[in-house]
Chain A
Amino acid sequence: MLRLEGVDAFYGDLQALFGVSFEVRDKEIVALVGANAAGKTTSIRVVSGLVAPRGGHVLFDGADLASVPAHRRVELGIVQVPEGRRLFPFMTVRENLLLGAHTERARAEKERTLQYVLALFPVLGERAGQLAGSLSGGEQQMCAIGRALMARPRLLMLDEPTLGLAPVLVGRIFETVRTINADGVTILLVEQNVRQALTLAHRACVLESGRLVLSGPARELLGDERLKRAYLGL
């Protein structure tokens, strides 16, 4: 479904990705793991179009995304939940969710998707009229995921969805990601909770200093002592 081929990306003069290649197949959960500043977020931003790669290709369903601006990629089904949730703080939960259904494709199914999201996160229904900025961290994350789901993603990219959440909520978020995947959405997950991410994911890619150093079935990586010591700090 998604393939990166030798992607180089920069922030100004600073190179953040060096020839990164990996693949996400249909209906998979792929975890992107690695230390801070390894290039995980950059990889996701290259796919969503917020960062333009200077070299290499990003292919979605076999088509090169180079000439597709970020907002058009949402229409193709590529939806990112950004790090730090990035809700619209002065709008209500309901308004945030409805904004997720902006593309024509999503708008047609708005009501049905909203029912789905509210069933997934009942608390969002209770908080519908509240300003998104007034929610707790966990509720905000649910709202951010709910908003992304409103766009009817085919590939959902989650950037550190459990950052700063209490352990009990971390479990809930992972649970939800599994449910969303079971409902047919392909997932690309950036996580610092490596052990839980590898337990959840089918496959994983390990990044270090902007380079892909390892990839394979998540369970194998989880059992690899050398990998654990070298890259995952477990």
Chain B
Amino acid sequence: MDPARPLGPAQIDAVAQLGVSTILLGGIYALIAVGLTLIFGIMRVVNFAHGEFLMLGMYLAFWSFTLWRVDPYFVLVVAIPLFFVVGLVTYVLVMKGVITASHNVQIFTTFGLSILLQNVALVAWSGDFRFVRPWHLSVALRIGGTTFNLSQVVAFVIAVVLTVALVAFMKWTHTGRVMRATAQDRDAATLMGIDTDRVYRLTFAIGIAAVGAAGVLVAPLYSVYPTAGLQFVLLSYVVVVLGGLGDMAGALIGSLIVAAVEVAGSYVFGIAWKEIFYFLLFILVLVFRPAGLFGQRGSETLGA
């Protein structure tokens, strides 16, 4: 189902509805993209397997709900530490070996990881489309001339809280400073006594925890299947480029722009067209503002 579509038969104020849908969608996109931009910003690695960790989050929500009737929002409490550990393990087993390798090697590595995870999911859980239908999905809220369901609102609120917490963590904590310093000059960071390998491990784990949490949050809103991550990861690249590579605050704004383009494009031309519009936007940005809409400082800044 498409959250951009009005849910009830009520009289809808089209413009207000589009605005609300944009914001609700943008918040969730932000949480997906922020992990990608964090990992890129600090480690200089584009994680092509990012969408697959989202997919794993969706399956975690699906199975918890189906087997034990656990609401996705409670699954989140387990999902965040669980995906943090998954991130740590993935870093040690896969990423550590290629962190100083060429970009080509890194691309093949994360792309290979992506295909591996998709196929593991396919073998383990089949290619069927699965659905998570918690009670709050059918609670419609009407405010002014707009309508949306409770799941969207809760997912949005949690996504925004997590995203803002992450941005604040990067900006104001000592560990956040340490991570940014490592991104800006690895050798200089080492000379300050910073264990840069530990920083990379932590960065990857945080990025995966964020996208895993996003997967759990979006599970009730989209169907769950082995390649479910693809649609999100493609738009995350658009978000990250719009916001400036490695710029987490930029990713927030980029998410809203992508969501607005998607929502308005689907409304005017139909859902089938939505991707055309944000990839058009993507190409325009790459041609005219390759450092991102707000970036003059290049990709080194990372929330500086």
Residues of A within 8 A of B (CB): 48-50, 69-75, 79-80, 82, 86-91, 95, 98-100, 102-103, 106, 131, 147-148, 151
| Contact yes or no, B184 A88, CB < 8 A | yes
In chain B, positions 253-304 with a C-beta closer than 8 Å to chain A are 297, 300-302, 304
Q: How far is the CB of B295 from chain A (nearest CB, A)?
A: 12
Q: How far is the CB of B101 from chain A (nearest CB, A)?
A: 17
| Separation of A100 and B174 alpha carbons in the complex (Å) | 11
Contacts of B190 in A (CB 8 A): 49-50, 70-71
The verdict on A80 contacting B191 (CB below 8 Å), with A88-B181, A90-B304 known, is yes
| Contact yes or no, A147 B192, CB < 8 A | yes
Contacts of A90 in B (CB 8 A): 180, 184, 297, 300-302, 304
Chain B positions 182 through 198: 1 when the CB is less than 8 Å from some CB of chain A, otherwise 0:
00110111111111100
Nearest to B188 among chain A residues (CB) is A86
| Contact yes or no, A88 B185, CB < 8 A | yes
Chain B positions 144 through 183: 1 when the CB is less than 8 Å from some CB of chain A, otherwise 0:
0000000000000000000000000000001001101100
| Contact yes or no, A50 B187, CB < 8 A | yes
| Contact yes or no, B185 A71, CB < 8 A | no
| Contact yes or no, A102 B187, CB < 8 A | no
Q: A90-B300, A131-B304 are in contact. List 11 more A-B contacts (CB 8 A).
A: A50-B187, A70-B190, A70-B191, A71-B193, A71-B195, A71-B196, A90-B180, A90-B297, A90-B304, A91-B304, A99-B178
| Contact yes or no, A151 B184, CB < 8 A | no
Q: How far is the CB of B41 from chain A (nearest CB, A)?
A: 11
**B177, B193, B194: the one within 8 Å of A95 (CB):** B177
| Contact yes or no, B191 A102, CB < 8 A | no
| Contact yes or no, A82 B192, CB < 8 A | no
| Contact yes or no, A151 B180, CB < 8 A | no
The verdict on A99 contacting B191 (CB below 8 Å), with A90-B300, A90-B304 known, is no
| Separation of A99 and B297 alpha carbons in the complex (Å) | 21
| Separation of A27 and B303 alpha carbons in the complex (Å) | 41
| Contact yes or no, A100 B192, CB < 8 A | yes
| Separation of A29 and B194 alpha carbons in the complex (Å) | 26
| Separation of A86 and B304 alpha carbons in the complex (Å) | 17
**B184, B194, B301: the one within 8 Å of A71 (CB):** B194
| Contact yes or no, A86 B185, CB < 8 A | yes
Contacts of A50 in B (CB 8 A): 187, 190-191
Contacts of B184 in A (CB 8 A): 88-91
| Separation of A102 and B176 alpha carbons in the complex (Å) | 12
**B180, B194, B301: the one within 8 Å of A102 (CB):** B194
**A74, A89, A91, A98: the one within 8 Å of B191 (CB):** A74
**Nearest 5 A/B pairs, CB to CB:** A74-B193, A90-B304, A86-B188, A103-B193, A88-B184
**A86, A99, A131: the one within 8 Å of B187 (CB):** A86
The verdict on A99 contacting B301 (CB below 8 Å), with A50-B187, A82-B187, A91-B180 known, is no
| Separation of A148 and B191 alpha carbons in the complex (Å) | 9
Nearest to B301 among chain A residues (CB) is A90
Among B181, B188, B191, find the residue whose CB has the most chain A CB atoms closer than 10 A: B191
Contacts of A79 in B (CB 8 A): 191
Contacts of A98 in B (CB 8 A): 174, 177
The verdict on A151 contacting B192 (CB below 8 Å), with A91-B184, A98-B174, A131-B304 known, is yes
Q: How far is the CB of A29 from chain B (nearest CB, A)?
A: 20
Q: How far is the CB of B91 from chain A (nearest CB, A)?
A: 18
| Separation of A49 and B297 alpha carbons in the complex (Å) | 31
| Contact yes or no, A48 B185, CB < 8 A | no
**B180, B188, B300, B302: the one within 8 Å of A82 (CB):** B188
Nearest to A48 among chain B residues (CB) is B191
Contacts of B193 in A (CB 8 A): 71-75, 102-103, 106, 151
| Separation of A157 and B187 alpha carbons in the complex (Å) | 15
| Contact yes or no, B180 A88, CB < 8 A | yes
Contacts of B300 in A (CB 8 A): 89-90
The verdict on A91 contacting B188 (CB below 8 Å), with A71-B193, A71-B194, A102-B194 known, is no
Nearest to B298 among chain A residues (CB) is A90
| Separation of A75 and B180 alpha carbons in the complex (Å) | 21
Q: How far is the CB of B170 from chain A (nearest CB, A)?
A: 12
| Contact yes or no, B304 A99, CB < 8 A | no
| Separation of A71 and B193 alpha carbons in the complex (Å) | 4
Contacts of A106 in B (CB 8 A): 193
Contacts of A73 in B (CB 8 A): 193
Contacts of A72 in B (CB 8 A): 193
Contacts of A87 in B (CB 8 A): 185, 188
| Separation of A48 and B194 alpha carbons in the complex (Å) | 13
Nearest to A92 among chain B residues (CB) is B304
Contacts of B195 in A (CB 8 A): 69, 71
Contacts of A148 in B (CB 8 A): 191
Contacts of A82 in B (CB 8 A): 187-188, 191
| Contact yes or no, A74 B192, CB < 8 A | yes
Nearest to A76 among chain B residues (CB) is B193
